[in-house]
């Protein structure tokens, strides 16, 4: 029995496909993943708390005055973010920053009172227990955790204050008062399923990377407030109107 040329070519193609499929199926691949020393959640908690505290500072009394920003006492792990955000907030509200103290009329000194995180854990169920060796015949070992419900709540706290004095006379001319703010991130597990993520650093609650609908969504709206911490949007605060006049500036001059 003869096989036609088209049929022979079809059989050859099928055989080739089977060989390729076998090679691909028998292969393996690896993906290399790395992690930074600090988690992204920790960094978001801290910088978000700092941004909220800084937003409470009113720099308008310094408007139009040549100012040097002293950040010697404003030290924290995110030093670059802290210093840059301070300068941006002052410039946005009309402060005239100088790079050298001798070029300024006033010196503004900033200080950080708190910049860190706290974690609280809550468990409904049995925590992990280790049975120590006591009497012979009694088994020892570790009983794993059995959680009906579990929650981890991590908070970030920032506290800052600033004051200004005249470079020549040393007279105190302005104080900001103490500004304090916090942020939080929560992970909830129900029956070992989770985490369900929520908190101020998230736009909406998330489950396995998928955003969950909120009551406002179910009601047909998205709500009036929205946190854009993880949307990649750069939302600049609206600048406050200047409040210091030329007479105010001259009143502080030595």
- Residue 126, classed as helix, strand or coil, is strand
Residue 45 above 60 pLDDT? Answer: yes
Instruction: Measure the CA–CA gap between 200 and 225, rounded to whole angstroms.
Output: 11
Please classify residue 128 by burial: count the beta carbons closer than 10 Å to its beta carbon, then call 0-12 exposed, 13-18 middle and 19+ buried: exposed
| Residue 5 or 179, more confident | 179
Instruction: Measure the CA–CA gap between 214 and 249, rounded to whole angstroms.
Output: 49
CATH of segment(s) 38-131+142-233: 3.40.50
**Helices 79-92 and 40-54, packing angle to 10 deg:** 30
Q: Output the CA–CA distances (angstroms, integers) from residue 52 to 8, 16, 119, 178, in the order listed.
A: 74, 63, 20, 13
- pLDDT tens track for 113-161: 999 999 998 888 777 777 777 766 667 777 776 778 888 999 999 999 9
Q: 107, 115, 114, 116: which is closest to 162 by C-alpha?
A: 107
Q: Output the CA–CA distances (angstroms, integers) from residue 234 to 117, 226, 228, in the order listed.
A: 24, 13, 8
Q: Do the Cβ atoms of 71 and 162 come closer than 8 Å?
A: no
- pLDDT tens track for 183-230: 999 998 888 787 888 889 888 888 877 777 777 666 665 444 444 444
What is the residue-wise DSSP string for 218-247?
HTT---S----TTTT---PPPPPPP---HH
Q: 182, 178, 157, 181: which is closest to 110 by C-alpha?
A: 178
Residue 237 above 50 pLDDT? Answer: no
Dig out the tokens for 227 from the structure. Answer: 């946190």
What is the residue-wise DSSP string for 137-205?
TS--EEEPPEEEEEEEEEEEEEEEEEEEEETTT--EEEEEEEEEEEEEEEEEEETTEEEEEEETTSSS-
- pLDDT tens track for 69-111: 999 999 999 999 999 999 999 999 999 999 999 999 999 999 9
Q: Output the CA–CA distances (angstroms, integers) from residue 156 to 46, 114, 153, 199, 237, in the order listed.
A: 5, 10, 10, 11, 21
Please classify residue 104 by burial: count the beta carbons closer than 10 Å to its beta carbon, then call 0-12 exposed, 13-18 middle and 19+ buried: buried
Q: What is the bridge-based pairing of β-strands 66-73 and 96-97?
A: parallel
Instruction: Measure the CA–CA gap between 64 and 174, rounded to whole angstroms.
Output: 14
Instruction: Measure the CA–CA gap between 42 and 111, rounded to whole angstroms.
Output: 21
Instruction: Measure the CA–CA gap between 66 and 253, rounded to whole angstroms.
Output: 12
Residue 14 has a pLDDT of 59
Where are the chain's structural domains? Answer: 38-131+142-233
Q: Which residue has the tokens 């970030």?
A: 156
Instruction: Measure the CA–CA gap between 200 and 196, rounded to whole angstroms.
Output: 14
């Amino acid at each position: 029995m003869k096989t036609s040329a088209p049929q022979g070519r079809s059989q050859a193609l099928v055989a080739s496909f089977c060989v390729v499929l076998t090679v691909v199926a028998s292969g393996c691949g690896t993906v290399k993943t790395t992690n930074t020393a600090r988690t992204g959640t920790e960094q978001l908690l801290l910088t978000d708390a700092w941004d909220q505290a800084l937003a409470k500072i009113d720099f308008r009394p310094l408007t139009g005055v040549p100012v040097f920003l002293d950040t010697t006492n404003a030290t924290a792990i995110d030093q670059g973010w802290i210093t840059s955000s301070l300068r941006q907030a002052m410039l946005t509200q009309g402060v005239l920053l100088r790079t050298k103290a001798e070029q300024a009329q006033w010196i503004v000194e900033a200080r950080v009172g708190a910049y860190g995180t706290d974690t609280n854990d809550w468990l409904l169920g049995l925590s992990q227990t280790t049975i120590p060796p006591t009497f012979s015949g009694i088994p020892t070992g570790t009983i794993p955790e059995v959680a009906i419900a579990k929650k981890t709540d991590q908070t970030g706290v920032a506290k800052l204050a600033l004051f200004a004095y005249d470079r020549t006379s040393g007279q105190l001319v302005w104080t900001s008062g103490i500004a304090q703010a916090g942020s939080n991130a929560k992970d909830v597990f129900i029956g070992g399923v989770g985490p369900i993520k929520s908190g101020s650093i998230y736009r909406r609650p998330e489950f396995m990377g998928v955003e969950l609908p909120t009551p406002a969504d179910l009601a047909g709206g998205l709500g009036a407030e929205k946190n854009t911490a993880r949307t990649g949007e750069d939302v600049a605060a609206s600048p406050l109107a200047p409040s210091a006049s030329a007479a105010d500036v001259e009143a502080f001059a030595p």
